[in-house]
Amino acid sequence: MWIYEKKLQYPAKVGRANLRMAKYLITQYGGPDGELAASLRYLTQRYTMPTGQAKAILTDIGTEELAHLEIIATLVYKLMDRATIGEIEAAGLGAYYADHDKALFYVNGEGVPWTAAYIQSKGDPVADLHEDMAAEEKARATYEWLINLSDDPDLNDTLSFLRQREIVHFQRFGEALQIVQEYMDSKRIY
């Protein structure tokens, strides 16, 4: 089960409303390398992991990604706060507005809705953990591209925190992979 805590993992700040960045940042909400994909990937892969360490790390990182999803939602919500229709249209968000107003929805930066085709659950723990490590690197790169696109120091502070978390998760998945490989090798004694 899960229990909600009425607080963010990190103080999500934006310096000013910025629809251009909202349009780019939404991809970390519902895009291919975003936080929803990350969380759902890890939380569904954990059931068939062979060791306690791997089950734990997928559960805990999958849960942390939900906290990151909430941080991204908060940032997008704040970036779009008080925007006028004219500003929304000028930022290329008119089509988004027609479908969602300023509500949060799981799409990438081009408005393509989230799909389970972004993720995989192979049942082979070595394959799954390699996918997870690649996912963390892709998310890290996405945060770097977003920071390159942004000139808001407050926003960049929060994006830098999220970028650093991808690095830590990559490290933990790598350790879990080594543990799983050693476990599987130990099973192959004839």
Binding mask 87-126 for other proteins (x = CB under 8 A): ----------------------------------------
Count of residues touching other proteins (by CB under 8 A): 28
CA gap 12, 176 in Å, rounded: 30
CB–CB of 64/165 below 8 Å? yes
- Interaction residues for other proteins, span 146-185 (CB under 8 A): 168-169, 172, 175-176, 179
First to last CA, the chain: 40
User: SS3 for 107?
Assistant: strand
Which listed residue (61, 93, 146, 155) binds other proteins by CB under 8 A? 61
Stretch that binds other proteins, among 7-15, 35-43, 86-94, 137-145 (CB under 8 A): 7-15
CA gap 169, 2 in Å, rounded: 20
Concatenating the DSSP letter of every residue in 72-84 gives HHHHHHHHHTT--
Q: Between 4 and 190, name the residue whose CB sits nearer to other proteins.
A: 4
Which listed residue (28, 74, 142, 150) binds other proteins by CB under 8 A? 74
Residue 48 burial (10 A CB sphere; 0-12, 13-18, 19+):
middle
Q: Point out which residues pair with 107 in neighbouring strands.
A: 113
Q: Between 148 and 186, name the residue whose CB sits nearer to other proteins.
A: 186
Residue 110 burial (10 A CB sphere; 0-12, 13-18, 19+):
exposed
Q: Point out which residues pair with 113 in neighbouring strands.
A: 107
Rule CB under 8 A: say whether 41 interacts with other proteins.
Answer: no
Which listed residue (17, 56, 66, 133) binds other proteins by CB under 8 A? 56
In terms of Cα–Cα distance, which of 38, 29, 18 is closest to 108?
29
Stretch that binds other proteins, among 9-17, 28-36, 38-46, 137-145 (CB under 8 A): 9-17
Rule CB under 8 A: say whether 23 interacts with other proteins.
Answer: no
Give least dist CB 123 to other proteins, A: 21
Rule CB under 8 A: say whether 28 interacts with other proteins.
Answer: no
Q: Please give the residue ranges that form the binding site for other proteins (CB under 8 A).
A: 3-13, 53, 56-57, 60-61, 64, 70, 73-74, 77-78, 168-169, 172, 175-176, 179
